[in-house]
Structure 1
Amino acid sequence: MKYRKADVLIVIMGTNPFPNLVSAATRVKIDGYIYCICSEDTAGKPYEKFKNLLQNKGFKNNSGQECIKKYLLTDDEMKVKNIESKVNSMLDEILRTTQGDILIELNYTCGKKIMSSVAYDVIKNKKFKNTGRNIEINLIYIDAERELMYVEQLDKRKVSSIELCDLEESFELSVVDIIETYNTEICEFIEEPKYEKLSNKLGEMFESISYIKDKREQKERYKKLMDAKKCFTEKNENNFIDKIKTVFENFNLPVSMEDIDSAGFEDDEKKEKYFEGNKWFEEYILSKLLPLKEEKIIDGLVANVKRKSVSKENEFEVDIVLYKKYKMYALSLTTTRRPSEATPKLYEIFQRSTDLAGDETERGLITLFWVEDVIKLKEKCMNLWDDDLSRGVFITGVMDLPYIKEKVKNWICGGEKSDQ
């Protein structure tokens, strides 16, 4: 079902701007008006970042009238009577600002409960009979988990729903738009691997385990590669170049110094950091997942997303973030072989995914774990949810690497968690 776009959109500003971004992108005319009801917590940076994004997307002042407006409710005004008065004043201003028959739409998904519930009641029960105009009202709620928008059309006395992906956009939202609007300062992210050829060669070493038919040979190969990886991170008296040469010789790896020298590193220190941390694994997974964007399975993908510590926001990093209209997916990556070391990464991604783009963000963990260790990690998760992993959680290990693009695609499209 298609719904005509509103002439005026009213949103309740909460700490999570995502539902309001969705409604601004899909539910109001580009030359319409947007009224933002804010608390003291959201009247500053959250509102300004929301407004700036919309202006950059094409919302301009209309006939000298500001098209994006703020209505502030202070902490002292956070009472039913005060909110009713403020909302009624806003509706009166809307009638003065606009002309002719109009559609007003309220998105009451976000904000403090008292703000959204009172605004809903006031707007639903407002009488426009003496205006000499036909004023239609829609009340909408976005359920990000079910990926649905519920629409209550008062003039038709009906409630219906539409899938978020079927909403018609006035402008396109990107993954960067969302995370930069949600967070005060994102200081770094990458959109493509810098050392793709090298990272793929390193990742393909682990992929090759799946192609070995004999189970014992699989485990032997896995142990050899994990032992080699451990040598990269161990501190010893040798400099990094000597250390890596020794590893290549001792473990007979299909990677050479020529591969590293031709990759384009600026200096030996950057080479060392690339191998000692997860950077090569991040770039390998990023390279494997980028085709999902070309295939239009996802609408955006960034990696190595870093947030600065500003005000009440803690500094953190999320390894990979994917965006599919209108849903966010956050992935954490680890190359450790110990489940005890990966468990904190699992809980970490639960918190960081929420900090990055709200509670509705799905999350996953991609590891180099052997099959049994993936099962152990899943069991830790199942302690949080009864008998099985939540639909939105994805955990996988080394045996899935050759098929990781399809695994992630199935997770995004159908809720696959892992079948190891």
Structure 2
Amino acid sequence: MSIEAEDIPPAWHYASYRSLLGELQRGHGIAVVRLRGQPEHAQIVYECTSRDTRWDWQVDNRRGYLARLLRDLRLDLAPLIAQLRACGPDRPWPHRDPTNDDNQFRLTVGILETLARAGNAQASEALRGYVRDGLRWVEVLEVISEEWPVEWWDDLWEAAAARLDLDDTTHLFPSGKPWRHWRGRDPSLDARLDDALPNRCDSPATGNDLTETSDADLIDLLRAPDTDRGTLAMALRQIRRRGHAVPELLELVEQLRAARAPGLTRALHTLGPLVVPAARTWAADSDHPLFHDAPDLLAEHGDEQDIPTLLTALDRLADQWCGYDQLTAGLTRIVAALPPNAQTDTRALLVRRLRWLAIASPHSYERPSYLRSLLLLDWQHTLNNLPAYLFDCEPEVRQLAAENIPLTDNVRSLLTLLRDDPIEDDDVKHAVARRL
């Protein structure tokens, strides 16, 4: 049986970054400004709440951004509540819930939780009601108990005790909220939580504790051919956490790379300038296993002679969205330290690339880095755009904008709104308060 081409749904893609929808999908503040001036187009927000448009669901931020849009544009929450209810049970891979292919469930929970925290009674009751009879109620309960004041969810303990069964205990963290808060209220609930302990680890196993191990002994562990990968990872993690250079690590790079030791590159960053000569060699050899990692090391620790290598590494990232931040931050560090009349072509090229990344990349987690670089290299032009950055999806972008924006009467009004907004992050509020 053949499948006609027209029966295959087209692959989803981002709208143009020049369009209002594309700006919304990327979490840009300019989209907020435009929608506030054109509320008749507000329905477009639902296109970004009906699927998770983040490039990376783990680090990119949209929850507060979309919640604020729904609130300020007075949009009906019924579509989100229906979306919450439409998602099926959480299933282990490779099984899937086709109603949640695009992370609709967690996106919706995050938006509704944020709105409830800001005082929206409809959002609050939707989530509380879901705990009473929804399919993925444990997940919702753990989210709201972590984010809300205890008095907002404490009365749900009886519903939770009545619902909790053996299948649910495989999905919960018994030593986390709300379970540890409810211990001792009901013997049967305590028994089910006790049953969950062997099934769910609240923190990854750490194995041997290497915190007191000397640098020399860590190197001996890394050098020993029979050290397992888990111990290699822990030893490298200890070196990284200590933050000071352990030069002997350079001698073990080939061996550790062959052993696929997790965390090697991050540990190499602790070497500082000591790693630069080796990183230049690795970056020049496309067959070297650290060929792709070497530019990041040079970005953090290299100097003017590494600019061509970093520009070439930037060009290799074509059709990707991850990794630009480290390279552009490194280039900015190097170029900004030079006299204004040095590397003028590189400076102009870098500014153009940063401007494009700041508006075109959907990977908003990297946007604070781009803005920080633009404030160093393209100060005046960037200042003119800071008002829109006050509404960006990333808290760190909003904080940078608040810290650097010229204070006018209109700006003071915008900053006051941010300071008093219950949806706003605390770090942004503190930055705003300092400016005001």
Shared fold (TM-score greater than 0.5)? no
Return the structure number with greater relative CO, CA threshold 8 A, min gap 6: 2
In proportion to residue count, which structure has more strand? Answer: 1
TM-score (norm 2): 0.27
In proportion to residue count, which structure has more helix? Answer: 2
